[in-house]
């Protein structure tokens, strides 16, 4: 896990479910074969609706048409991010698209555990609802050790909830590597 995570933010609302993060129709791709793996990046957040434009919030696509990675490194969301089915493909798809962190008001438990256990993205929570403050395209700087996120446009810094015990898993890379390093498995 990096000590600093910086990049442009992509802002979403409440209850973004795993079918919106990676639609079930795209679960046919291998997560290990490189040519197929990149398809998870192409279709990440491709089903988040915008009632008027048919595109994600504000009509701004997360991944541009024909590309496999996003320009956004940090997803900012409201409550209950990652609700729905228990697929590990959801945080994996975000990682393949280039996302390093998600800052949400709250998470569905299974998404949070999959994000941490696989070491896919760092799932931060913030005391302030950032989805109402940050705009898509804003540049954010996360200081992991200090537990803060700075929004450059606003020149404001917000406190993040401590990662607690999951920090060690994320630092190791994933839950299996953590177990190896901790002597839990050989």
- Reported as a single tens digit per residue, the pLDDT across 29-46 is 999 999 999 999 999 999
- Residue range 8-139, CATH number: 3.20.19.10
Q: So where are the chain's domains? A: 8-139
Instruction: Give the pLDDT confidence score for residue 58 in this predicted structure.
Output: 62
Q: Which two tokens stand for residue 71?
A: 């320009």
Phi, psi of 14 (to 5 degrees): -90, 155
Q: Which two tokens stand for residue 10?
A: 């992509």
Closest CA to 141 of 151, 130, 133: 151
For the residues of 21-66, what is the DSSP string, one character each?
Answer: HS-GGGTTS-SSSHHHHHHHHHHTTTT---TTTSSSGGG--SS-TT
Q: What is the pTM of this model?
A: 0.94
Band of pLDDT at residue 50, cut at 50, 70 and 90: low
């Amino acid at each position: 896990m990096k000590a600093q995570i910086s990049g442009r933010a992509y802002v979403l609302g409440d209850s973004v479910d795993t079918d919106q993060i990676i639609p079930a129709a795209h679960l046919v791709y291998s997560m290990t074969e490189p040519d197929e793996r990149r398809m998870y990046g192409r279709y990440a957040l491709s089903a988040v609706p915008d009632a008027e434009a048919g595109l994600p919030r504000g009509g701004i696509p997360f991944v541009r048409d024909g590309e496999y990675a996003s320009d956004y490194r940090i997803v900012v969301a409201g409550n209950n991010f990652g609700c729905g089915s228990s697929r590990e493909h959801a945080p994996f798809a975000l990682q393949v698209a280039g996302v390093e962190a998600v800052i949400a008001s709250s998470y569905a438990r299974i998404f949070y555990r999959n994000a941490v256990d696989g070491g896919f993205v760092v799932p931060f929570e913030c005391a302030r609802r950032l989805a109402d403050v940050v705009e898509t395209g804003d540049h954010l700087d996360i200081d992991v050790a200090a537990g803060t996120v700075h929004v450059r446009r606003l020149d404001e810094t917000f406190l993040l909830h401590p990662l607690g015990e999951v920090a060690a898993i994320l630092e190791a890379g994933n839950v299996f590597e953590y177990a190896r390093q901790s002597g839990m498995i050989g």
